[in-house]
Amino acid sequence: MIVALKKITGKAPIKIWHKENDIPNLDLIVIPGGFSFGDYLRCGALAARSPVINVIKNHISRGGTVLGVCNGFQILIEAKILPGSLMRNKKLLFTCKETTLEVQSCIKNPFLSSFKIGECLKIPVAHNEGNYFAPNDLLKELKEEGRIALKYSKQKDNEKNYNPNGSTEDIAGILSNNGRVLGMMPHPERAINYLHGGTDGLKLIKNCVEQIIG
Amino acid sequence: MKVIVNVSLKEGVLDPEGQAIRSSLNNLGFEHCSDVKTGKQIILNFNQNSEAEVLTQAKRMCEELLVNTVIENYEISILKD
């Protein structure tokens, strides 16, 4: 993720330790993937109670932008910054593969503004607990508010296993109610170089940076 | 004082681990096992003696960290020696 952000901005992003409770005003906070606290208790549960989370919540309440990827998405969910739950993959397998994501019709946000609705992005996933679950009332709310940003999409009518984790309605990423926070399971930073097999992830992160700092 | 917290998935939430275990049990010949649910147990040690206070604290721990109340239920009990 640092490589991706450096590639786009030409500057190295600031790394923030999880015990930090005072940070400068930032344009964008990215919570990257990984296995914080060894995934103990529940993925992201312990990191979501780290002191830095209050700082992130303050940044969001000031209208700040946050991107959470994979474990970062799990942390945002556990911190109750985004709603719902990320459960064990339906087939009980750690899944590491390229997925096709379809951009949904959703509220104004800095992440996908340069993409057309229905446009497909090739971005890989690598996770064990990415099965997004929302109870029916929450799902209805997310749809009505246009907060479902990305869905796993099939490329052929008869394609199976296009959804890598069995998530509710193929959801891959959701937005906060002001559109400034995106949580997504796929890793855009793993699709930033043609050697990765594509650069759609770079487009997503680049759009986000450009929307925020111009 | 020891407190046991049992955490289980809510009714209607998919439990793929339970399904995989059930399938293996069926293969082993336990064909009457029709469903398996998994969960986890957390044992808390308190250096306090007031049951009421301990239960209140355990409940707060569940709500604030130990349980994902979107998908999980919990039961708290005091372990008698």
Give the pairing type, strands A171-175 and A148-152: antiparallel
Determine contact, residues A55/A22, Cβ cutoff 8 Å. yes
Q: What value of ipTM does the predicted structure carry?
A: 0.79
Residues of A in contact with B13 (CB under 8 A): 87, 133
- Catalytic residue numbers of A, as ranges: 70, 187, 189
Residues of A in contact with B20 (CB under 8 A): 92
CB contact under 8 A, A87 and B70: no
Which domains are seen in chain A, by residue range?
2-213 (3.40.50.880)
**Amino acid in position A162:** Y
pLDDT band at A176 (very low <50, low <70, confident <90, very high): very high
Q: What is the pLDDT of residues A99-128, one digit of tens each?
A: 999 999 999 999 999 999 999 999 999 999
Q: How far is residue B32 CA from its own chain's centroid?
A: 24
Q: What is the mean pLDDT of chain A?
A: 95
Residue B80 has pLDDT above 80, yes or no: no
Residues of A in contact with B17 (CB under 8 A): 88, 92
Contacts of A14 (CB under 8 A, 6+ apart): A23, A24, A26
CB contact under 8 A, B71 and A90: no
Residue A146 has pLDDT above 80, yes or no: yes
Residue in chain A nearest B41 by alpha carbon:
A41
Residue in chain B nearest A86 by alpha carbon:
B71
Beta bridge partners of B51: none
How far apart, in whole angstroms, are the C-alpha atoms of residue A28 and residue A60?
10
Residues of B in contact with A41 (CB under 8 A): 65-66
Query: Token pair of B68, please?
Result: 């994902």
Can you give the pLDDT at residue B14?
Answer: 85
Q: Fill in the DSSP letter of residue A183.
A: E
Q: What is the pLDDT of residues A44-96, one digit of tens each?
A: 999 999 999 999 999 999 999 999 999 999 999 999 999 999 999 999 899 99
CB contact under 8 A, A88 and B16: yes
User: What would you report as the CA-atom Rg of chain A, rounded to the nearest whole angstrom?
Assistant: 16
Architecture (CATH level 2) of domain B2-79? 2-Layer Sandwich (3.30)
**Amino acid in position A101:** L
Q: Which of A42, A76, A141 is the best residue to mutate to test the B interface, defined by the most B CB atoms within 10 Å of its own CB? A: A42
